[in-house]
Amino acid sequence: PSIPHKLVVANWKMHGNLARNQVLIKEYLQALNPLAQTKVVVCVPYPYLAQIQILLANTGVAWGAQNLAKFEQGAHTGEVSAEMLKDFGAQYVIIGHSERSTAYCESDENIAEKFMMAKRHGLTPILCVGETLLEREAGVMTRVVGKQLETIIRLFGAGAFAESIVSYEPIWAIGTGLAASAEQAVAMHQFIRDTVAAADSAAASTLKILYGGSVNPQNAVQLLNQKEIDGALVGRCSLDAEQFIKICQAVP
Ligand code: PEP
């Protein structure tokens, strides 16, 4: 199925337990069911995929994981494959989140391979790109984001971006309470689309570009009303049903 017009993705990160997840999803659904048009995706830690598959079955809310292996299968202790995610009905997978690339030194090449692995298995990749505060202050943010995109284009061709998702996540905005302004986000979203379009305009036209980084109910309205912003990736506020629902309701 093609990706909805605008979507809001919850990234639970390494939070939750069986009891709390059940309550949180119940609270989400109480408000989200009548909002069937708001497309919502919940990305959970691996152990909760089985639980989420049951809780979200036939609700219109989709689910996914926060990482996957770049390998198909085999002797890769501790890794989780695309096929395994599919087994639990996952449709989406976050790739290259900065919390992972920083902590585990994931290279752009590694991230590109994971992106293609998701595509090959029919999972929609949510590729995170973004610059550090130092890089923004030095004015090299488009060079940094450009390199992240170019790695995929060089290795696999820009066609890989068709029906995919890129999330612009300035590292200085993640978990800091300091979101990018709508102006800063729009400028980068335009750059991302232009970069893909320069290599493959058809692919760029079906690419969704989300914004992530301290999205909250207050800033969501302005961010989500920009035509260049196709949705949001939400960390902290996705753990609080009331705040998450308000963000979903900000989708025009
Ligand atoms: C994220 O996890 O991708 C994120 C954007 O987190 P937060 O909303 O907490 O900044």
| Contact of 211 with 190, CB cutoff 8 Å | no
DSSP secondary structure letter of residue 150: H
Confidence check: pLDDT of 104 > 90: no
Domain with 225, as residue range(s), is 7-249
pLDDT of residue 102: 76
The answer to whether residue 66 sits within a structural domain is yes
Confidence check: pLDDT of 178 > 90: yes
Residues with beta carbon inside 6 Å of ligand 1? 11, 13, 169, 174-175, 212-215, 233-236
Q: For ligand 1, what atom is nearest to the CA of residue 215?
A: 8
Give 222's contacts (C-beta < 8 A, 6+ positions apart).
Answer: 182
The answer to whether residue 241 sits within a structural domain is yes
- The pLDDT of 153-168, averaged and rounded, is 97
* Ligand 1 atom 6, closest CA: 235
The answer to whether residue 1 sits within a structural domain is no
The answer to whether residue 215 sits within a structural domain is yes
- The pLDDT of 78-91, averaged and rounded, is 98
| Assigned token pair, 99 | 């919390």
Residue 225: alpha-carbon gap to chain centroid: 18
| Contact of 28 with 145, CB cutoff 8 Å | no
| Assigned token pair, 240 | 């609080």
Predicted TM-score of the model (pTM): 0.96
**Range in 92-101, 116-125, 180-189 the model is least confident about:** 92-101
> Each residue of 193-241: pLDDT tens digit?
999 999 999 999 999 999 999 999 999 999 999 999 999 999 999 999 9
Q: How far is the CA of 215 from the centre of ligand 1 (A)?
A: 7
The answer to whether residue 171 sits within a structural domain is yes
Report angle CA 69, 13, 224 to the nearest 5 degrees. 105
Confidence check: pLDDT of 37 > 70: no
| Contact of 203 with 159, CB cutoff 8 Å | yes
Element of type H or E holding 21: helix 18-32
* Domain count along the chain: 1
The answer to whether residue 24 sits within a structural domain is yes
Give 67's contacts (C-beta < 8 A, 6+ positions apart).
Answer: 80, 93, 94, 95, 97, 100, 114
| Assigned token pair, 15 | 């939070």
* Ligand 1 atom 2, closest CA: 235
DSSP strand pairing (208-212 vs 7-11): unpaired
The answer to whether residue 30 sits within a structural domain is yes
| Assigned token pair, 139 | 């004015």
Q: How does the average pLDDT of the chain come out, rounded?
A: 94
**Range in 3-17, 94-108, 140-154 the model is least confident about:** 94-108
Out of 8, 9, 11, 216, give the residue to mutate to test ligand 1, the one with the largest number of ligand atoms within 8 Å of its CB: 11
Amino acid (1-letter code) at residue 20: R
Confidence check: pLDDT of 144 > 70: yes
Confidence check: pLDDT of 164 > 80: yes
Confidence check: pLDDT of 124 > 80: yes
Q: For ligand 1, what atom is nearest to the CA of residue 179?
A: 10
Could you give the CA distance from residue 210 to residue 165 in angstroms, rounded to a whole number? 7
> CATH code at 12?
3.20.20.70
pLDDT of residue 154: 97
Amino acid (1-letter code) at residue 246: K
CA distances to 55, 156, 187, 208 from 171, in Å = 32, 26, 16, 20
Through-space distance between the first and last CA atoms of the chain, rounded to whole angstroms: 22
Nearest CA to 9 out of 125, 112, 98 is that of 125
pLDDT bracket for residue 31 (50, 70, 90): confident
Confidence check: pLDDT of 110 > 90: yes
Confidence check: pLDDT of 32 > 90: no
Could you give the CA distance from residue 114 to residue 222 in angstroms, rounded to a whole number? 32
Q: Is 13 annotated as a binding residue?
A: yes
The answer to whether residue 2 sits within a structural domain is no
| Contact of 66 with 11, CB cutoff 8 Å | yes
